[in-house]
Amino acid sequence: METVQPSNGSTLRTVFSLPVIVAALGYFVDIYDLVLFSIVRVPSLKALGLTGQELVDQGVFLLNMQMAGMLIGGIIWGVLGDRKGRLKIMFGSIFLYSVANLANGMVSSIEAYATLRFIAGIGLAGELGAGITLVSEVLHKNVRGYGTMIVASVGVSGAILANVIAKSYDWRTAFIIGGILGLLLLALRFGVAESGMFRGMESQARLRKGSFLSLFTSRDRFGRFYHAIMIGLPSWFVVGVLITFSPEFARMLGVQGTISAGNAVMYCYIGLVAGDLMSGLLSQLLRSRKKVVLLFLLLTVAAVGIYFTASGVSEATFYAICGLLGFGIGYWAVFVTIAAEQFGTNLRATVATSVPNFVRGMTVPITTLFLALRNQFGLQQGAIMVGVLSLAIALFSLWRLEETFHKDLDYFEEFL
């Protein structure tokens, strides 16, 4: 059941439809909560009595707990999205991470902190994939790139609000505000209709839906799944290593002034908003997803090079470089759209939800490898080695994926 192609006069109204707005706001709250820990890592851990190297080691542990939760949640929510519906999963995930973040504002130990970051991670895993799947299915193929662009661009700006809130209130209040924002968002679900493609699939009683294991029983399906994940790898190398630990890198590089992780996150995500807008527009103008991702991966290579040669620069220049890094990885909307477009309706939510969370979950091996290489080769060399590996894998995987800009999404995956 293909969606109707909008006329020129109705395109804007179609793109800014309620499903797109709700998905965008949901991702906005998702990103707020997702990056808040990186912003409040140091003050929250100091408040719990940690000092020195513990701030880095326990910070990595908590970040990995959050990302491990997202990895597991990506599978759970994705499967449920294909079996129960895109909307149910979108708002179920919002409820879980909102409640977890309210509780996170009241922790008094590392153990409780870690447990709640894990639970919040599970909740955070469902929002983006369900939203992108819904938007991709309700918009015509000629404009769906605009819809996913809006979702990602509005969403990543949640990081800017997170930094503003974290600077205006203490870390506990910042977590509680994130939880309240999520619960308020639930009120919008009642005006949004389920995807027509999903409703059409519900009548197919014998059709296998949301079969995560089927991604591993076919070489073709596994290849599409694996390469869709790998093209997003540099995003979380940049955010999970270069931005999260920017104060440590800035001291090593002799950057003038004191670099705040919160400000680094904010400027990175300002760049990410601009990058998502630009990559989304370019994908529509060039009528290609792959060309745009290639361009932005090359921009990321250049930005990482500038980052590690920024010895002795001013505080403002360093933050500008963080913004450039964010712009380079601003192909997130196109990346998730590619993942959604690779698979049929009965596996689309499973893939679109699990792929970005597998990428986020890759923060665990990325940071683990970074810490191991840092101990052996030093902070800068360790990070460069991890970055080169991430970018090389992403470029190879992009080459292996098919172009999906013109692809009709109204079809099913067939299992033998």
pLDDT at 86: 84
Residue 133, domain extent: 15-191+211-400
CATH number of the domain that 295 lies in?
1.20.1250.20
Residue 203 belongs to some domain of the structure: no
Residue 4 belongs to some domain of the structure: no
Q: Give 4-58 as a DSSP string.
A: PPPPTTTHHHHHT-HHHHHHHHHHHHHHHHHHHHHHHHHHHHHHTT--THHHHHH
pLDDT at 331: 92
Q: What is the pLDDT along the chain (416 residues), one digit of tens a residue?
A: 344 455 444 556 667 777 888 888 888 888 888 878 877 888 888 998 888 888 878 887 887 888 888 889 999 999 998 888 888 888 888 899 899 999 999 998 999 999 999 999 999 888 888 888 888 888 877 788 888 888 888 887 888 888 889 889 999 999 999 999 988 888 776 667 677 777 777 666 677 887 898 999 999 999 999 999 999 999 989 988 999 889 999 999 999 988 988 788 889 988 988 998 899 889 988 999 999 999 999 999 999 999 999 999 999 999 999 999 999 999 988 898 899 899 988 899 899 999 988 887 787 788 889 988 988 898 889 999 999 999 999 999 999 999 988 888 888 888 76
* Residue 326 DSSP symbol: H
pLDDT at 232: 94
Residue 123 belongs to some domain of the structure: yes
Identify the helix (H) or strand (E) that includes residue 117. helix 110-124
Q: Are 38 and 243 in contact (CB under 8 A)?
A: yes
pLDDT at 12: 60
Chain centroid offset of residue 385 CA: 23
- pLDDT digit string, tens, across residues 45-84: 899 888 888 887 888 788 788 888 888 999 999 999 888 8
Residue 415 belongs to some domain of the structure: no
pLDDT at 9: 46
Q: Helix, strand, coil: what percent of the chain each, to 5?
A: 80, 0, 20
Residue 132 belongs to some domain of the structure: yes
Using CB atoms within 10 Å of the CB of residue 355, give its burial: 0 to 12 exposed, 13 to 18 middle, 19+ buried. buried
pLDDT at 355: 92
CA pseudo-torsion sign 206, 212, 213, 215: positive
End-to-end CA distance of the chain: 24
Domains of the chain: total: 1
pLDDT at 13: 64
Residue 1 belongs to some domain of the structure: no
pLDDT at 10: 54
Q: Using CA atoms, how far apart are residues 283 and 281, in angstroms rounded to an integer?
A: 5
Residue 200 belongs to some domain of the structure: no
Residue 303 belongs to some domain of the structure: yes
pLDDT at 190: 65
